[in-house]
Amino acid sequence: MPSTLYGVPDEFDVIVIGGGPAGATTAGLLAQRGHRVLVLDRERFPRYHVGESLIPAFMRPMQELGLTERMDARGFERKYGGSLVWGNNQIPWNFSFIKGGAYAYAYHTRRADLDCLILDRARELGAYVLEEATVKEAIMVGERVTGVRYSLRGLDGVHEARAKLVVDASGQARVLARKLADVEWHEDLRNVAVWTYFDNCERLPGDEYTNILIEGVDEGWFWAIPIDKNNISVGYVTRSATASESGEALNELFHRELGNTTKLKKMLAGASQCAGFRTARDWSYHSKKFHGDGWVLVGDSAAFVDPLFSTGVALATLAGSTLTRIIDQVIQHPEIESQALKRYATAYSDFFDEIRTFVERFYDRTKYKEFYFSLAQEMIDPERKNEPSADFVTLISGLSGKHPMFNITLDDLIADASAAAE
Ligand SMILES: Cc1cc2nc3c(=O)[nH]c(=O)nc-3n(C[C@H](O)[C@H](O)[C@H](O)COP(=O)(O)OP(=O)(O)OC[C@H]3O[C@@H](n4cnc5c(N)ncnc54)[C@H](O)[C@@H]3O)c2cc1C
């Protein structure tokens, strides 16, 4: 028999399932606007998560949360750009974020630290956060989602909480999305990753010191992310089919392919592996619906694209920030809910498609860097106002601004609602 938990309110404006970057950003910014928000996460933070390299688009929602100074103060490694061994002839080349827009740097970070920082900030801003709270199912009234049932670790029973809107930010668990929306897999990006960590590695020289290194080999590519002065995350990505056909264990494949790198092999020559291997596979998809009656998706629960350009956390937090502005209006004007969420979904999926299209085309390594630059220009700057190399950096920084992701206004929402009413 579901029960109300003693001492925990059970009526909120918004319930957010998942306290990762998408959920914590959405919850924190909603609480900052004075809304009553409940966040439920099945883990106790800090908890491990893959995804340690960030891009400049991430800085904007973190500024809104008032967190960038804290990240600098904690010594998060600043990431000024990237170094690539990629494209025809495998000639190394670099890019700097400063060339592409408003932010000169993003960060590399242990996700346990980053995610905990954002979730703590949501709490500080007034969100009610319950950890070790696993959402089991949605409460439905007819077709509308009106709340959730959840269990708390160590306590018997199932508890209920209700809200005007439920946000599914549960990442690849897709707690609500799994029941309410099918996914479409991106067949061209059916990949697998195997990764681990090394101590005492040699760093890239000079200005490249804190760059992410992306190095292609015949059947895949490696990331090398300098998390701090001593420690580096190294991962290998290849097609799932290629990994299966090789008949090798993924860690053997990792070591064999590492031997085919040039820059990375040199960096790791005197390093020692300091953690076991972890793996993930087949992760690129988008949900066929981003919202419905009383519910909406954000972050990986809505869509996820291959990590080639480290876009996951930026997309999740940027979408969270946009969603906050939409929900703020929906709570004040409930009659615009459907149209407002539709506008969010359109902006989000357009932006996502832009990144996905570019990632898919970038995987073609028969080209020269100038080709990738021109491709970026064609996509985000057809009038050729900027240098192609600058367009490339803008695009992979997540800052193209071509889509209304950054700029949805109340006037837009009201116009949509009245158009729909006519
Ligand atoms: C191999 C690989 C490498 C990657 N590298 C990068 C990178 O370098 N940079 C980058 O930006 N991104 C990277 N990503 C992607 C990035 O990890 C995700 O995009 C990001 O974590 C999405 O954030 P989120 O908040 O949507 O989901 P998550 O961070 O997954 O958070 C979801 C939360 O929901 C909680 N949850 C799940 N089920 C329930 C439930 N039933 N009840 C309550 N809570 C629940 C989980 O505990 C979790 O805390 C990578 C991904 C992969 C697979």
Q: What is the full per-residue pLDDT of the chain (422 aa) written as tens digits? A: 555 566 778 899 999 999 999 999 999 999 999 999 999 999 999 999 999 999 999 999 999 999 999 999 999 999 999 999 998 878 899 999 999 888 999 999 999 999 999 999 999 999 999 999 999 999 999 999 999 999 999 999 999 999 999 999 999 999 999 999 999 998 888 899 999 999 999 999 999 999 999 999 999 999 999 998 889 999 999 999 999 998 999 999 999 999 999 999 999 999 999 999 999 987 789 999 999 999 999 999 999 999 999 999 999 999 999 999 999 999 999 999 999 999 999 989 999 999 999 999 999 989 999 999 999 999 999 999 999 999 999 999 999 876 556 667 667 776 776 666 66
How confident is the model at residue 3, as a pLDDT? 55
- Structural domains in the chain? 11-80+106-185+286-415 (3.50.50.60), 187-281 (3.30.9.100)
User: Which amino acid residue places its CA nearest to atom 6 of ligand 1?
Assistant: 51
Q: Is 119 in the pocket of ligand 1 (CB under 6 A)?
A: no
Q: Is 52 in the pocket of ligand 1 (CB under 6 A)?
A: yes
User: Which amino acid residue places its CA nearest to atom 17 of ligand 1?
Assistant: 51
User: Which amino acid residue places its CA nearest to atom 4 of ligand 1?
Assistant: 51
Neighbours of 173 (CB within 10 A): 16
Q: How far is the CA of 422 from the centre of ligand 1 (A)?
A: 40
Q: Is 17 in the pocket of ligand 1 (CB under 6 A)?
A: yes
How confident is the model at residue 102, as a pLDDT? 86
How confident is the model at residue 5, as a pLDDT? 64
Q: How far is the CA of 416 from the centre of ligand 1 (A)?
A: 32
Q: Enumerate the β-bridge partners of residue 278.
A: 195
Q: Is 54 in the pocket of ligand 1 (CB under 6 A)?
A: yes
Token pair listed for 9: 């309110």
Listed residue (226, 212, 175, 201) closest to 22, CA to CA: 175
Which mutation among 39, 48, 49, 306 tests ligand 1's pocket best, with the greatest number of atoms within 8 A of CB?
49
Neighbours of 46 (CB within 10 A): 16
Q: How far is the CA of 354 from the centre of ligand 1 (A)?
A: 21
Q: Is 130 in the pocket of ligand 1 (CB under 6 A)?
A: no
* Cis amide linkage into residue 46, ω under 30° from 0: yes
Q: Using CA atoms, how far apart are residues 233 and 110, in angstroms rounded to an integer?
A: 9
Q: Using CA atoms, how far apart are residues 314 and 310, in angstroms rounded to an integer?
A: 8
Q: How far is the CA of 29 from the centre of ligand 1 (A)?
A: 19
Listed residue (332, 343, 319, 369) closest to 95, CA to CA: 369
How confident is the model at residue 90, as a pLDDT? 83
How confident is the model at residue 88, as a pLDDT? 86
Q: Is 168 in the pocket of ligand 1 (CB under 6 A)?
A: no
Which mutation among 40, 151, 313 tests ligand 1's pocket best, with the greatest number of atoms within 8 A of CB?
313
Neighbours of 364 (CB within 10 A): 11
Q: How far is the CA of 52 from the centre of ligand 1 (A)?
A: 11
- The end-to-end CA distance of the chain, in Å, is 45
Q: Is 40 in the pocket of ligand 1 (CB under 6 A)?
A: yes
Listed residue (74, 76, 96, 92) closest to 84, CA to CA: 92
How confident is the model at residue 407, as a pLDDT? 67
Helix 21-32, helix 312-332: angle, nearest 10: 30
